[in-house]
Amino acid sequence: MNIVVKVKEISTHSFFRNPKTLRYLWLFILPLAASVKYIRISPNNFIIFRQVFWHTIHRLPLYIPYPAEYHDLNHYGAFFSTVIAPFALPPVWLGLLLWLVGLSTFLYLAVKNLPHANYLFIYWFCANELLTALFMQQFNVAIVACILFSFLFIEKEKDVWSAFFILFGTFVKLYSIVGLAFFFFSKHKIKFIASLVGWSVVFFILPMFISSPGYVMGQYGAWFGDLLAKNDSNLFSFATNISLLGMVRKMSGFATYPDTYLIGAGLLLFMLPYLRIKQYVYLSFRYFILASTLLFVVLFSSGSESSGYIIAFVGVALWYTAAPWKRSKWDVALLVFVFVISSLSPTDIFPRFIRTKLITPYALKALPCTLVWFKLCYEICTRDFSNSKINTDNEATEQTV
């Protein structure tokens, strides 16, 4: 039997199309699997996160080493102390499990509520990347959820809540600021701007209630210095700069040029579709902007890690499913290329020699997503989105989720 036919038969089996399967997978199985990994070892990243709360309570510096407590450094804003608080109070094992379940649930709900999105495909396509992010206990899962919710509430004309999610993520990790890319789709721009200002004040002062104003203001200043130092250390790091920026730098071996050249070119390409104002009315066009935003924030950041590709993968899934035209065989091949190289390369399924000698040293995990982003940019600048009916096969099953 033709392998393509066999794959199609398997993928259409009721097990894979049952929303309950995905609910259990995302909300229970994957978080539990990630938690079990740390039965015998300390969950270092989660320890760092929970200590942000306790260090804030005791007014200790947030951006210096604490070798007796954990390895590495905290790089999240002072506001994070209030986000992690409910998970820092229980014992470590319970706090970790609740943290992972909370992250997975947050993203699950964000994807599920996207209007007319093929959420079944997105869930399956991103499941391995979600597990990777959960293994690292990373906030990146919440970052992509914040970006999705900021888009969703712009669509619902609830600009106050869109601004909430943009600033909620930004005050923890700057990635979420890209939610401002949806500003042009807002029908209440003044309200949106006012909401951004209001939530900025709320999130800025919130940590002061568990510490003091002077302490929090000092930590925000220290955070800025920490991010600058982190950017410098990322340039040739194996664990970070897994991005278009890092791929170019590591393959070329040059260290003297600034990333601003590539970032500037990328921003021009990213902004070019906004000139197609007549296309704004089509949901599929706006989904392409969302997909481009999710890919851009990973590909053009020196801080991108393997666990951050959950952000890019949701973007790839949206690019593939939101097009109001039939995807070609080349598109399918590109999608498979993304999954094999970007998702499977860090796992034991992938040949170790290729992973350690080629993929990791040259940040080639970023290559397939880069190709998708370039193709997306071409399509969004040249294709007609007027046939805006997006995959709606899931509409009949949404009520059962």
Closest-CA residue to 137 (of 71, 44, 53, 62): 44
Number of domains in the chain: 1
Closest-CA residue to 38 (of 102, 106, 95): 95
E-assigned strands of 78-149? none
Percent of the chain with pLDDT over 90: 72
Q: Is residue 297 part of a domain?
A: yes
Q: How far from each other are the two terminal CA atoms of the chain, in whole angstroms?
A: 34
Q: Is residue 370 part of a domain?
A: yes
62 within 8 A of 56, measured Cβ to Cβ:
yes
Measure Cα distances from 325 to 33, 287, 322, 331, 386 in Å. 38, 14, 9, 12, 10
Q: Is residue 168 part of a domain?
A: yes
Q: Is residue 13 part of a domain?
A: no
Rg, Å, the chain Cα set: 21
219 within 8 A of 60, measured Cβ to Cβ:
no
pLDDT of residue 345: 86
Q: Is residue 349 part of a domain?
A: yes
Cα separation, 324 vs 13, in Å, equals 25
Output the six-digit token pair for 162: 């869109």
Q: Is residue 64 part of a domain?
A: yes
Q: Is residue 14 part of a domain?
A: no
Q: Which domain holds residue 355?
A: 19-400
Amino acid identity, position 12 = T
Q: Could you please report the per-residue DSSP string of 158-197?
A: -HHHHHHHHHHHHTT-GGGGGGGGGGGG-S-HHHHHHHHH
Output the six-digit token pair for 141: 């899962």
> Mean pLDDT over all residues of the chain?
89
pLDDT of residue 400: 29
Q: Is residue 11 part of a domain?
A: no
Measure Cα distances from 204 to 140, 219, 295 in Å. 21, 11, 28
Query: Which residue ranges in the chain fall short of pLDDT 50?
Result: 1, 3-5, 7, 10, 391-401
pLDDT of residue 175: 92
| Long-range CB contacts (within 8 A, 24+) of 217-226 | 219/56, 219/61, 219/62, 219/63, 219/78, 220/77, 220/78, 222/61, 222/62, 222/63, 223/62, 223/63, 223/77, 223/78, 225/63, 226/63, 226/73, 226/75
